[in-house]
Amino acid sequence: MTDLIYPTIDIFLYDLKYSLGDTPEEIKQNQQSYYNKIPEYIRPLLLENGQDLPGEYVHLLKDVYAQTKHHNEQYEGYFYPVLLGDSYGLLVECAFKNKTNAQPAKCFVDIKAEIERILKSQTATIGQTWMLSGWLPPDQPKCSEEIAQACYQALMPGLDWEGDLQGQGHFLGANIFELTQNNQHFIIMIYPDEATSNQSGKFYSDWIRLFYYRHKIVWAYSQSRLLKHSLQTYFTKIKVGSNAIEQATSKGSELNTLHKTLVDVQNTLNDYTRELTVLDFQGGTIDINLSNYEKRLGRIKQKSHKIQVNKETEIKFLTEFSELVKDKYRLQITKDSENLERGLKLLSDTINAVRSRVEVEKAERDRNFQTFVSLLAAGWTFGSFVSALPGLDKENDNPVRSYLVNTFKIQVSPQRTTGTPQIKTTQPTTSTQQTTPKEPWWLIPATKGIYTLSGFVIAILVLLLWRRLWRRYR
């Protein structure tokens, strides 16, 4: 027999209110996503500006119990929305409306369908816990595990009871079972009687907190796995970019290209550093929620002993989750953070070394260019000075002109037109005509431009020789 009286499903849903770095628009979207899970006739009862309410546990309804019940012909239940620090919590209860007759375990299929209809098949962003409960008929053999297994198979057909079962124990004399499947969390309570079931109703505010801490821990750990994968991708990208810069530097690539690649690598390194910080933040989230989980679990134990002194409460299996968090979740994040931190130092050292080489080469090229400009300016100044010396532009003192006249016996006309001396040469004439020849182009006298150019070349040669000697003997 797998029948239960008053079969009930309580689903605890947890949604993120805000996370690190969220904008006001994103926070408002999170709030709207949460409100969509609450029926429209209840939303006017919610406290206004819920995102500004302080406290770690805040009731979001003006009237917590009186106006939150939902009824139809077969089912009854209520909604219980709360604010949990940076998250929202919502408890939705739906029970078969009959506390007299026992119902088969398969009725949980219909109850689940009713809840999904109310929630419009929306799921939670952080996590959710399904709590199934009911009490045994007086004349039924008390095989609680068989009943719990039938309830689980009805709710989640096809799942493996043995593989998903995390532990079992006793709570207020009831048999309690815990199962997990991926991110789904299940609690099944089989009460011995109605009185025990009624006593357990005093613990819903404790359960909603305890399950929240559990889901927040699992959520933070899953976020850390995503961050680790992202950091490994960034590491590979930075390493490839660093190698590309080193190869380009050895080949003498353009500095502008090298600098652009270096900027891209540095930006990726900044993303790496930021996400490494977020990874540490997830570790801190696990620490604080684990501490809260253990404290709340201790309060549940203490509270249960006060309520039912003679009823057994043994929920050691819930403490095993704490050991899992310490031995796996937290340890894994710590090791990942340490390894990725060492990777960050290695990448930073490599990038800094490459940047230094690029900056040195850029400074050397800039210095060479400035030296070249300085040489041009000095040479031009010296050439201009030489061309401006007195007498170099006069006919009698012109050394080039004197050399041409003495060597080629050229007659130079004393006449000047437009500032240019006229050179005549004696050549035979015909019988009919005698003309004065024009001076050849290659006998044009030296001008100021020639002296400027000569001085320019001489100055540059002297400066280059001095620079080389200074570098050698400094």
Tokens of 266: 């540095």
Beta carbons within 10 angstroms of residue 293's beta carbon = 24
pLDDT, residue 306, reads 85
Distance CA 49, CA 60 (A): 10
Structure confidence by residue, pLDDT tens digits, 324-371: 999 999 999 999 999 998 888 877 776 776 666 666 666 666 565 566
Max mean pLDDT range (95-99, 254-258, 456-460): 95-99
AA identity, residue 230: S
At residue 310 the predicted structure's pLDDT band, cuts being 50, 70 and 90, is: low
Task: Calculate the average pLDDT of the chain.
Answer: 80
| Burial of 196 (C-beta count, 10 Å sphere; 0-12/13-18/19+) | middle
pTM of the shown model: 0.76
At residue 429 the predicted structure's pLDDT band, cuts being 50, 70 and 90, is: very low
Position with higher pLDDT, 175 vs 472: 175
Tokens of 222: 């899953």
Domain edges within the chain: 3-192, 218-364, 388-411+444-474
295, 301, 306, 311 alpha-carbon torsion, rounded to 10°: 170
pLDDT, residue 39, reads 87
Q: Are 282 and 223 in contact (CB under 8 A)?
A: yes
pLDDT, residue 398, reads 53
152, 153, 157, 158 alpha-carbon torsion, rounded to 10°: 110
- Region for residue 20 given its phi and psi (left: phi exceeds 0; alpha: psi -120 to 50; beta: otherwise): beta
pLDDT, residue 278, reads 93
Is the pLDDT reported for residue 188 higher than 50?
Answer: yes
Point out the least confidently predicted range of 171-180, 432-441, 464-473: 432-441
Tokens of 434: 């005698």
Q: φ, ψ for residue 73 (rounded to 5)?
A: -65, -30
Q: φ, ψ for residue 444 (rounded to 5)?
A: -60, 135
Distance CA 359, CA 144 (A): 75
Is the pLDDT reported for residue 205 higher than 80?
Answer: yes
> What per-residue string of b and e applies to 88-104 under the rule 16 or more CB within 10 Å gives b?
bbbbbbbbbeeeeebbe
pLDDT, residue 2, reads 78
At residue 241 the predicted structure's pLDDT band, cuts being 50, 70 and 90, is: confident
The single-letter DSSP state of residue 46 is B
Position with higher pLDDT, 173 vs 15: 15
The single-letter DSSP state of residue 341 is H
Distance CA 438, CA 417 (A): 13
AA identity, residue 344: L
Q: Are 451 and 459 in contact (CB under 8 A)?
A: no
Position with higher pLDDT, 12 vs 464: 12
Average pLDDT over residues 459-468: 64
Q: Are 3 and 105 in contact (CB under 8 A)?
A: yes
Average pLDDT over residues 292-305: 94
AA identity, residue 125: T
H helices present in 308-330, as ranges: 316-324
Distance CA 108, CA 152 (A): 9
Candidates 35, 98, 94; CA nearest to 61 is: 35
At residue 470 the predicted structure's pLDDT band, cuts being 50, 70 and 90, is: low
pLDDT, residue 464, reads 64
Distance CA 12, CA 176 (A): 17
pLDDT, residue 280, reads 93
Is the pLDDT reported for residue 12 higher than 60?
Answer: yes
The single-letter DSSP state of residue 325 is I
At residue 432 the predicted structure's pLDDT band, cuts being 50, 70 and 90, is: very low
H helices present in 132-254, as ranges: 144-155, 161-164, 194-200, 204-250
Is the pLDDT reported for residue 403 higher than 80?
Answer: no
pLDDT, residue 300, reads 94
Structure confidence by residue, pLDDT tens digits, 20-69: 788 989 999 999 999 999 988 888 888 865 556 777 899 888 765 545 66
pLDDT, residue 11, reads 97
Q: Which helix (H) or strand (E) holds 423?
A: strand 420-424
At residue 105 the predicted structure's pLDDT band, cuts being 50, 70 and 90, is: very high
pLDDT, residue 251, reads 64
% of the chain beyond a pLDDT of 90: 45
Is the pLDDT reported for residue 458 higher than 90?
Answer: no
Is the pLDDT reported for residue 299 higher than 50?
Answer: yes
Average pLDDT over residues 415-425: 47
Candidates 417, 57, 418; CA nearest to 210 is: 57
Distance CA 44, CA 39 (A): 10
Taking the CA atoms of 340, 344, 346 and 351 in sequence, report the sign of the dihedral they define.
Answer: positive
Instruction: Please enumerate in sequence order all residues whose Cβ is within 8 A of that of 205, keeping only pairs 6 or more positions apart, or say none.
Output: 57
Is the pLDDT reported for residue 423 higher than 60?
Answer: no
Residue 169, beta-bridge partner list: 176
- Region for residue 49 given its phi and psi (left: phi exceeds 0; alpha: psi -120 to 50; beta: otherwise): left
Q: How many CA atoms within 13 Å lie on the side-chain side of 263?
A: 6
pLDDT, residue 264, reads 84
Is the pLDDT reported for residue 76 higher than 80?
Answer: yes
pLDDT, residue 449, reads 57
pLDDT, residue 387, reads 54
% of the chain beyond a pLDDT of 70: 68
Max mean pLDDT range (59-68, 123-132, 351-360, 434-443): 123-132
Distance CA 208, CA 214 (A): 10
| 65: three-class secondary structure by DSSP | coil
Candidates 109, 74, 108, 78; CA nearest to 91 is: 78
